[in-house]
Structure 1
Amino acid sequence: MEACLGEELPAPCDLEESLRNGVLLAKLGHRFAPIAAVGLQFRHTDNINHWRVAMTTVGLPAIFHPETTDVYDKKNMPRAVYCIHALR
């Protein structure tokens, strides 16, 4: 993610919490599908949803897509991380 985004990520122990607001995910989505994520929003769920739209835009199978609550409520963060890996 650091190489793709061109910025340093938080320490691994803080990464899950940093992903919750969706800003890093929206930036990542914008990197893969620039028209899918027009700009970062103030609502965390909007940022996560931009990322989800970008995944659909690049053709990532839906089986890899985490739900918004998986990220925002930390219900299934391993699925979100698995999805990030699948984007490579």
Structure 2
Amino acid sequence: MFQALNARTPRDPELEAQALDWIEANLGEPVSRTTPYDDLLRDGIILCKLMNKLMPGCIKKIDTKGSGFALMQNIERFQNAAKQWGLPINEVFQTVDLWEKKNIPQVTLCIHALARVAQTRPDYTGPVLGPKMAEKHERHFTEEQLAEAKNAVSLQYGTNKGANQSGINIGKSRSILD
């Protein structure tokens, strides 16, 4: 479900609503549901407020008015704070994805990824959104177990029962009939 999305990926209103619910719960205040999702987040103000709730003081200045450039800086501030908080760089959307509405599904993916990362942080006690990230599970083997494993034939190698080279045409062109 969570993968790199391109501009042709359809928007999912349910995922967008879940993202807004999670943002509201963290902010402790409602966000406008009458304003379209992409317009609501476009200036980056809500996203900056969210990061300041998750990581207090991480964004010193939030531009609430001004030119497009000033408001785009809010998006950049959010992106930098999210990466600093632990969001993998490949799950952070590009500024144009939101500002020019080029890839809104990627913005939604980023918010869901931020919620997943939140669950792994001991300082986070807010609401849960989406599945919990997997935890590291190390396995320790004895020398005897490692030595025994060297003698086993892995199933990745397949089997050679009944194997032959029929059907292999090296150097011979393949004939295709209509």
The equivalent of 1:84 in structure 2 is 111
Q: Which is further off, 39-48 or 56-65?
A: 39-48
* Higher relative contact order, structure no. (Cα contacts within 8 Å, ≥ 6 residues apart): 1
In structure 1, which of residues 22, 26, 34 is the aligned counterpart of residue 56 of structure 2? 34
| Structure with greater Cα Rg | 2
Contact 1:33 1:57 in 2 (8 A): no
In structure 2, which of residues 28, 44, 52 is the aligned counterpart of residue 22 of structure 1? 44
What whole-Å deviation, never above 9, does each CA across 1:15-55 have from its counterpart, x for those lacking one? Answer: 21111111111111222233431121242111101110111
The equivalent of 2:79 in structure 1 is 52
**TM-score, normalised to structure 1's length?**
0.89
| Letter aligned with residue 9 of structure 1 | V
Give the paired residue count: 88
Q: Distance in 2 between matches of 1:26 and 1:13?
A: 18
Q: Distance in 2 between matches of 1:67 and 1:78?
A: 12
Mark the runs of 5 or more structure 2 residues left unpaired by the alignment: 1-22, 116-178
Question: Post-superposition shift, 1:12?
Answer: 6.7
**Structure that is richer in helix per residue:** 1
Task: Give 4+ residue runs of structure 1 displaced > 4 Å after superposition.
Answer: none
Q: Distance in 1 between matches of 2:34 and 2:24?
A: 12
What whole-Å deviation, never above 9, does each CA across 1:36-86 have from its counterpart, x for those lacking one? Answer: 311212421111011101111111101100001111111111111111111
| Letter aligned with residue 15 of structure 1 | Y
Q: Distance in 2 between matches of 1:34 and 1:69?
A: 26
Q: Distance in 1 between matches of 2:56 and 2:94?
A: 21
Q: Distance in 2 between matches of 1:85 and 1:21?
A: 19
Q: Which is further off, 40-49 or 7-16?
A: 7-16
Q: Distance in 2 between matches of 1:79 and 1:31?
A: 22
Mark the runs of 5 or more structure 1 residues left unpaired by the alignment: none
